[in-house]
Amino acid sequence: MDERALLAKIAEAPDDDAPRLVFADHLADAGDPRGELTHVQCALAKGPGSRALRARERELLPEAEARWHAALGLPRGARVALRRGMVEHVTLPPTGWEKTVAKLGAVPLRGVTFHGGETEDAVRLFGDERLARFSELGFLEVPFGRHGLAACAASPHLAGLRSLRLGKNGIGAAGATTLFASKVVPALDHLAIEDNGLHSDGMEALARRPWLKTVRRLELHRVNA
């Protein structure tokens, strides 16, 4: 079977399990653990699953992630997140991220998490029109600073964003007010903020926003750190 054709079918219908399971059978026939993992994760995606099924997922994940990493030619330090057997999210440094993402054209990539960097990286990223293709973004240990926050709030490339994760960006209470008043956050289904020093003022700024009731999943971790 032509793997490229199988992957193209998955890309055409990323929410459909059927083409993923066809590809999974192809992999399993070749003794590739990614095949079994796809079956396991597709089953788990339909419900909580059994303890045995979740244990099997944990057993298969390290080798499956390594196989995808090698198959896609990803650089050292890039980390993949597998959902229903396929690479749907990748974590990598901001520098040179474009080359890494270009290698992921064959998989149904939904998002990127940028890990590490400087304020200049945040400003540059929020101005990059290539972000518009993603529905999920994360920024971990990328210091926004005043200019980064302004770039985030004004970015025209985040209109399709549905999930945003922020961690250790130095947002603070004042920055939270700017962020929560922007056009970016109200469209989100999922917002996660951790280690960003929101404190009481930042939390009050969040509580005052009328869009808060429409966020399906809100995660706040160590908001005073």
Structure tokens at 126: 């929020």
- Tokens 């970015």 belong to residue: 155
- Bridge partners (DSSP) of residue 218 are 191
Q: How far apart are the first and last CA of the chain?
A: 52
- Bridge partners (DSSP) of residue 92 are 114
Overall number of domains in the chain = 1
The C-alpha R_g of the chain, in whole angstroms, comes to: 19
The answer to whether residue 153 sits within a structural domain is yes
The answer to whether residue 39 sits within a structural domain is no
Q: 182: Cβ–Cβ under 8 A, 6 or more apart, which residues? A: 152, 153, 154
Q: What is the mean pLDDT of each run of 10 residues along the chain (225 residues)?
A: 90 96 96 97 91 96 97 94 98 94 94 97 96 97 95 93 96 92 88 94 91 91 85
pLDDT of residue 1: 67
Distance CA 62, CA 167 (A): 25
The answer to whether residue 83 sits within a structural domain is no
pLDDT of residue 47: 87
Structure tokens at 144: 């926004």
The answer to whether residue 79 sits within a structural domain is no
The answer to whether residue 81 sits within a structural domain is no
User: ∠ CA 107-3-104 to the nearest 5 degrees?
Assistant: 20
Task: Give the strand pairing for 79-83 and 111-115.
Answer: unpaired
Tell me the residue range of the domain where 206 lies: 110-225
106-94-190-171 Cα dihedral, nearest 10 degrees: 180
Residue 216, domain CATH: 3.80.10.10
Cβ neighbours of 1 (radius 10 Å):
12
